[in-house]
Structure 1
């Protein structure tokens, strides 16, 4: 099954230098024909010249505009490979990480996503495995650190969501890709994966595929701590209001909300209140959030 690795990049030349060698080695080692694209979101550093000079076999594609993860939406309509492995520029991989991901697509036609086991960048701890989701205290929460998760780290299973991994390109396009209303990011991956599950597709966790993630390297460069906190809360509220309904949800959500606002004020955490206010505004306006 032909595969395309698509690496999203924004001013990440330094990270590409660290991570690309492992990805190139993995593509060569895979039993499935695998090509690599660096999808660039308007970098002003040396990313383009680095790729063109050091890796002429890699496609360097400039996104029309910097839509962060939503840049995948347009590009995936322009390629033909059935499977697209979507990666950040701060991810290095094991040499054999591709084949375990692809195998599930061959076994189960309903597969939408196969997520790898994610280690921290130096390989000393597991960052993410299979993910489970719940509404707790009136707020949505998805985590790989659920009670008893240690026993499941090496067990292939179903998962709720993943920000990167191997995706069915056809199903990704059919679902409309990432929702631009989460721009510049956070929760757009959970939203897409929830839509996939509700469409009847299946999402898997494959621990035999291992990657190493630096974690929000580009995001931390672009936004302050307060801004990242505000975006996270804004998009969490928007995610819930978009995807959940019913009396039980709203009673639970509205019961806890005033208490959470008070606690955030007492703790001096304005990001919660600011995110709530922004979520109300963009939901009412029905438009893309501001940066």
Structure 2
């Protein structure tokens, strides 16, 4: 009897700046995704570094799974994301170029997706991931705290339901994308577009989950420069106008023990590994 065919997932990475971080991100996806990886779609958004596009083209020539889309002008994160996501009709992961995935990440996200058919969006644990941050919830930690990564996350629940996923690494179910559409371009250059999509999903009866046994490094705060705070505030206002209960539901989740379970679990492991370190 032949083995069942694996479901493959496309990974979409909008690319603008930071050649070194972007190269590291792409290499980690190619190294750690396994047979679950479908296509790796790199969307070049006319960034300031002339060496970026040749690097992306070199990756494309070296691996047939890679597709490079070249924007004719700078379109911004949301438009670039939607262009990449529109290339396929299946499940997809939208991944920031300043991330670094770890072994088994894609199969780990798939395991959560297969655990409940109504889960539309999934985000893994991270050193910098808002409601998915470890070892302290909502607090970013340097990547050096986890290196070399030897965390055993198998003792955690497979997933935790949340009010929203986080955009640095966002798994999106094909069925939900086809029903709800993509990211809303009215959020401009970015920030809170993934929260908006998750609220639309929840309104349509879908669920949002944190994958407690998957970890992805995230540098964070390397996009938008000094405009980051302004964009964050403006788009949060837009989000709350649309979904008045968003902040209340997020605060309620933060107050529940299950919100902190993964962070405390990881903090305990790190403390055992480095008993003299201070966390939190």
TM-score if structure 1 supplies the norm length? Answer: 0.66
Equivalent residues in 2 for 1:1-291, closer than 5 Å:
1-27=7-33, 29-30=34-35, 32-45=36-49, 46-56=51-61, 57=63, 58-63=66-71, 65-80=74-89, 82-120=90-128, 127-130=129-132, 144-145=137-138, 154-155=156-157, 156-161=159-164, 162-163=166-167, 164-220=169-225, 224=226, 227-244=227-244
Whether contact under 8 Å (1:70, 1:177) holds in the other structure is: no
1:172-204 residue CA offsets vs partner (Å, 9 max, x unmatched):
242122122211111211111111111101111
Gaps (5+ residues) in structure 1?
121-126, 132-142, 147-152, 250-291
Where structure 2 has 5 or more consecutive residues not aligned to the other structure, the ranges are 1-6, 140-154, 249-280
Aligned to 1:42, the other structure's residue is in SS state coil
TM superposition shift of 1:6? 0.8
- Look up the match of 2:252: none
Q: Is the 8 A contact 1:160 1:203 kept in 2?
A: yes
Is the radius of gyration larger for structure 1 or structure 2?
1
How far apart are the structure 2 equivalents of 1:129 and 1:47?
32
After superposition, the Cα gap between the structure-2 partners of 1:154 and 1:70, relative to the gap in structure 1 and judged at 3 Å, is farther
Name the SS for the 1:79 alignment partner: coil
Higher strand share: 1
Partner deviation per Cα, 1:211-270 (whole Å, 9 max, x = no partner): 0001021222xxx2xx3322222212221112228xxx9xxxxxxxxxxxxxxxxxxxxx
TM-score (norm 2): 0.69
Report deviation, 1:72: 2.1
> Distance between the aligned counterparts of 1:159 and 1:119, measured in 2?
18
Identify the range of structure 1 (170-179 vs 234-243) with the bigger mean alpha-carbon deviation: 170-179
Aligned 8 A contact 1:159 1:204 in 2: yes
Question: How many residues are paired up?
Answer: 215
Structure 1 CA distance, aligned partners of 2:130 and 2:125?
6
